[in-house]
A and B are shown apart, each in its own frame.
Chain A
């Protein structure tokens, strides 16, 4: 019951000094808001990166052909056709750290179905690629070794292609024309979303490697491939696998050490895990700043409470004269500080959640609101109220009644 009176007294004190209370709370509002944005956006970013890592495939190495040089002007990586199926098979057989290998060959093609048409990238590959990249089928099935041997005219579609070309028609078993050649749709991939570099991974179709090489984008040398995807046996073995591939291909392509290589091996998982580490470091950094702003907010509360105690010395004297004990006065000012910080904390949460929603809408990332983070912020601000409110409140409660009454 007495607690209720203290609460009422504290609320009145805050209401009477509306502007000052609002400014006092601002530090806490910004601090809590920032903490919530960082925790939630940070975990959103991390899960987004994790999803992309899963999407590009785990423990993935990519082998690209080297650059062409014409008259001393060197073109970019992949401009020269130096890799062939033989390389892929050799990697699989000769490199002990390698689990799966999938060569690809492809290009852009024009698709027609009924009165609809669409242009997209067509990739020829082998079934292992889907395993390497952790891609799963929504409907239908994958092509098999027989389809590759016979260069079968079958294809697997990404979701965007299905939407644009077939609409609501069940795609399995439909015949679409790729560069005027009829292909039977045997499968549709699950939705994957855009890749880390912004390309929509669902806007593509997949055909058997031999079909791409022989029927769609004929190679000037038989068996030529554009890239070779390699999955290492584990994350720890990725560097080992990279070394083995480099050594093998240099031997196969007759390149002396010191000479320029005609291929490039890229470690995509490593790039992504670096991105994740960077995101983690940024989160920690921002969280530190947010914590500092919370502490500064707490000091702000202490500052205002100290001013308030000085300003209200006479009030404290009156309260003591009519029977207020030290602990009554202590409670009054402590509750006031706690209310200020908790109320600021609540407003900060509203601010933080709103900001998370806005950010999620703008960058199109799902940002899940973590209730643990909200609870943490609430408990933390409450503690700040107690911690920074105690000193002024204690000071008030230790005043000598007669001095407080005489204070001008």
Chain B
């Protein structure tokens, strides 16, 4: 399998006042296309920082990051926006949906920025909502939806542009166990059926257990990188 993501010695240093915080301290890893990866580690271990860099939201202090062989460090703001729009879908712990905006319009958002016509946009967004099991809820605003449903709207938004990667930063952090399992089963389904690479940041071992590869962080370094022996499905129906 081709290297979808390759990082070489990523270092990220935050200057907060006089104190320098090293969030990433030389991260070199590769992630293959089609992977289902969990990034684990305690708070402050640098996993969210890595996600932001992988998602082209942030740039490393030093080191290189190649996405599909493209050196991200050499791109400008608009080119990064284009990559985020076409290749990457984000799912956040706090959902980050637009308030007072319907589920459908939230899902349409990436399509607006990729210049899809109104009719096609609507159709694609409805399909995405359907695939996360939210058909019929498209006119609801985020405050009329449960946490699990909001996260599913966010996933629909992430996948609506058919990205290569979905980056999920603690997607189940604000959800109960049942909703968490639903969300993870959607990720598994997307990974298997749509062949989207899914990278999940979590510190819950039971969530990580549903993935095929676990990367464990501590103090800005990878301390463990293991392939899971057995891949369990969060949802019996999605089991192969």
| A300 interface contact, C-beta 8 A | no
Cβ–Cβ contact A322 & B78, under 8 A? no
How many B residues touch A, CB cutoff 8 Å? 28
Within 8 A of B (CB), among A194-230: none
| A89 interface contact, C-beta 8 A | no
Which interface class (under 10, 10 to 19, 20 to 34, 35 or more) fits A? Answer: 20 to 34
**In the complex, chain B residues whose CB is within 8 Å of the CB of A320:** 57, 81, 84
Cβ–Cβ contact B112 & A321, under 8 A? no
**In the complex, chain B residues whose CB is within 8 Å of the CB of A319:** 109, 113
Cβ–Cβ contact A324 & B57, under 8 A? no
Within 8 A of A (CB), among B162-186: none
Cβ–Cβ contact A321 & B84, under 8 A? yes
| The one of B78, B98, B112, B161 that contacts A318, using a Cβ cutoff of 8 Å | B98
Q: How far is the CA of A16 from the CA of B110 in the complex (A)?
A: 22
Cβ–Cβ contact B96 & A318, under 8 A? yes
Q: How far is the CA of A323 from the CA of B86 in the complex (A)?
A: 8
| A20 interface contact, C-beta 8 A | no
| B117 interface contact, C-beta 8 A | yes
Residue of A nearest to B160 (CB): A322
Cβ–Cβ contact B115 & A1, under 8 A? yes
Cβ–Cβ contact A2 & B96, under 8 A? no
| A328 interface contact, C-beta 8 A | yes
Residue of B nearest to A323 (CB): B85
Residue of A nearest to B56 (CB): A401
Known contacts A318-B98, A402-B58, A405-B96: does B81 contact A323 (CB below 8 Å)? yes
Known contacts A16-B100, A402-B57, A402-B58: does B115 contact A322 (CB below 8 Å)? no
| The one of B84, B101, B118 that contacts A323, using a Cβ cutoff of 8 Å | B84
**In the complex, chain B residues whose CB is within 8 Å of the CB of A322:** 84-85, 90, 109-110, 113, 157
Residue of B nearest to A13 (CB): B100
Cβ–Cβ contact B78 & A5, under 8 A? no
**In the complex, chain B residues whose CB is within 8 Å of the CB of A12:** 101
**In the complex, chain A residues whose CB is within 8 Å of the CB of B110:** 322-323
Binary CB contact string for chain B from 102 to 136 against chain A (1 if under 8 A, 0 otherwise)? 00000001101111011000000000000000000
Cβ–Cβ contact B86 & A321, under 8 A? no
Residue of B nearest to A317 (CB): B96
Specify the main secondary structure of chain A where it touches its partner: helix
**In the complex, chain A residues whose CB is within 8 Å of the CB of B101:** 12
Cβ–Cβ contact B113 & A321, under 8 A? no
**In the complex, chain B residues whose CB is within 8 Å of the CB of A4:** 118
Cβ–Cβ contact A314 & B96, under 8 A? yes
B114 → A minimal CB distance (Å): 6
Q: How far is the CA of A322 from the CA of B82 in the complex (A)?
A: 9
Known contacts A323-B110, A325-B113: does B96 contact A401 (CB below 8 Å)? no
Binary CB contact string for chain A from 4 to 28 against chain B (1 if under 8 A, 0 otherwise)? 1100000010001000000000000
B45 → A minimal CB distance (Å): 18
| B20 interface contact, C-beta 8 A | no
| B77 interface contact, C-beta 8 A | yes
Q: How far is the CA of A238 from the CA of B97 in the complex (A)?
A: 79
| A190 interface contact, C-beta 8 A | no
**In the complex, chain A residues whose CB is within 8 Å of the CB of B115:** 1-2
Residue of A nearest to B116 (CB): A1
Cβ–Cβ contact B114 & A323, under 8 A? yes
Known contacts A322-B113, A323-B110: does B57 contact A405 (CB below 8 Å)? yes
Q: How far is the CA of A16 from the CA of B81 in the complex (A)?
A: 27
| The one of A16, A317, A323, A402 that contacts B113, using a Cβ cutoff of 8 Å | A323
| B7 interface contact, C-beta 8 A | no
B130 → A minimal CB distance (Å): 20
Q: List 18 A-B contacts (CB under 8 A).
A: A2-B115, A12-B101, A16-B100, A318-B98, A320-B57, A320-B81, A322-B84, A322-B85, A322-B90, A322-B113, A323-B81, A323-B82, A325-B81, A325-B113, A326-B78, A327-B78, A328-B113, A405-B96
Which residues of B are in contact with A by a Cβ distance under 8 Å? 52, 55, 57-58, 77-78, 81-82, 84-86, 90, 92, 96-98, 100-101, 109-110, 112-115, 117-118, 157, 161
The 8 closest A-B pairs by CB, nearest first: A323-B85, A323-B113, A322-B110, A325-B81, A402-B57, A402-B58, A325-B78, A5-B112
18 more CB-based (< 8 A) A-B contacts, given A16-B100, A323-B81, A405-B96: A1-B117, A2-B112, A2-B115, A12-B101, A318-B98, A321-B57, A321-B90, A322-B84, A322-B85, A323-B113, A323-B161, A325-B77, A325-B78, A325-B113, A326-B78, A326-B81, A401-B58, A405-B57
